[in-house]
Amino acid sequence: MTTRTGESTEAGQRLGLVGRLKNGNIELWANLIVLALVIGFVFWRGSGFAITIGTVFAIWAILTVSLNLVVGYTGLLSVGHIGFFGIGAYSVAILTSTTDYSLLRTQSIPTHEWPFFAALPVGIVLAGAVALVVGVVFNRFRDDVFVLVSFGFAIISFNLFLNAGAITRGAFGIHEVARPNIVGRTLDGELEYLIMALACLAIVSLVAWAIVTSSFGRVLTAIREDEQAAAVFGYRVTHYKLAIWVISAMMAAMAGGLFSSWTSFIDPNSFILLESILLVSIVILGGLATIWGSLLGAMTFVLLEEGMRFLPFIPDVYVGQARQVALGVLLVVLMLFRPQGLMGRYKL
């Protein structure tokens, strides 16, 4: 299904930075270009804008790192990840919202007013539990069929968020989602929130790194390459696949919790299938089976998404569609000329 790209040669590794750039080291060029764009944006749009795109980046990066564990390292092409993102987001929103919905004429739901740090673990555990149940069924499928059933999961999740009005308020959405409170101090400031989001990203990235460099990660790589061969040696591949699926879902739920708290309002439109496909695209863009690539992919996407709104030749009403077109074109170009993505170890 996939092939690994060539390793850097020893001679290539011995070259200095300039030598590697001259040699056309695309990975290095990609890093430098993205870094230059980030610096350019910060100077151009100011620190406030930089903080905003930093927070968006942190949330998307948690999602891409978590999805890469499943898609990149284990070879399970899931397009249903947005469902777990939504579970985390709705859990935090429902439990922390401070709005008295009984005063509104629209759909009413109970108000719990939990603190953020009490609600977030609930969302993470709930997403893990759902992933466990769903994963037991999904483990029966592989390759194209797995993509289809994960597609189904994304559709079902969206419809639950939309139609379970008594819990989610459906299309009306949930307001006043609480910001985190640390030792009596609410993180109302954007900079404070950015720092917390980046701290969460650091934790997720470290956990992901620990997983992929462990013997557990080695088995995941083996499963990706030849599931049957791994089974022949006594590895219970379904257990491994289920474990990484659940871990990945829990990470996605963490991103969801951060997202709903940051935006303070959520409705089902944030969890549509298109977002899930976008997420897979970012993972492919950054590269399969690389944590750094996921971070780079997420940053590229965020820069593309936010940067396009400032292009003078695109009318405001078309910016949203233009972003999708640009990402689509970028992916086509990548598949043609660099199918392993910016930093990837494998081709899709």
| Residue 112 neighbours by CB under 8 Å, 6+ apart | 94, 95, 96, 97
- 192: number of CA atoms within 13 Å, CB side? 10
Min separation Cβ 224 and other proteins, Å = 8
Helix or strand or coil: residue 7? coil
Min separation Cβ 119 and other proteins, Å = 38
What angle, rounded to 10 degrees, do the helices at 143-163 and 273-286 form?
140
Min separation Cβ 261 and other proteins, Å = 39
Min separation Cβ 58 and other proteins, Å = 30
DSSP 171-239: GG-B--PPPPEETTEE--SHHHHHHHHHHHHHHHHHHHHHHHTSHHHHHHHHHHH-HHHHHHTT--HHH
- Is 115 in contact with 181 (CB distance < 8 Å)? yes
* Contacting positions for other proteins (CB under 8 A): 4, 7, 215, 218-219, 221-222, 224-226, 228-236, 345-346
Min separation Cβ 234 and other proteins, Å = 3
φ, ψ of residue 78 to 5 degrees: the values are -100, 130
Is the Cβ of residue 220 or residue 283 nearer to other proteins in the bound state? 220
Is the Cβ of residue 185 or residue 239 nearer to other proteins in the bound state? 239
Is the Cβ of residue 7 or residue 144 nearer to other proteins in the bound state? 7
Q: What distance in Å separates the CA atoms of residue 135 and residue 63, rounded to the nearest whole number?
A: 18
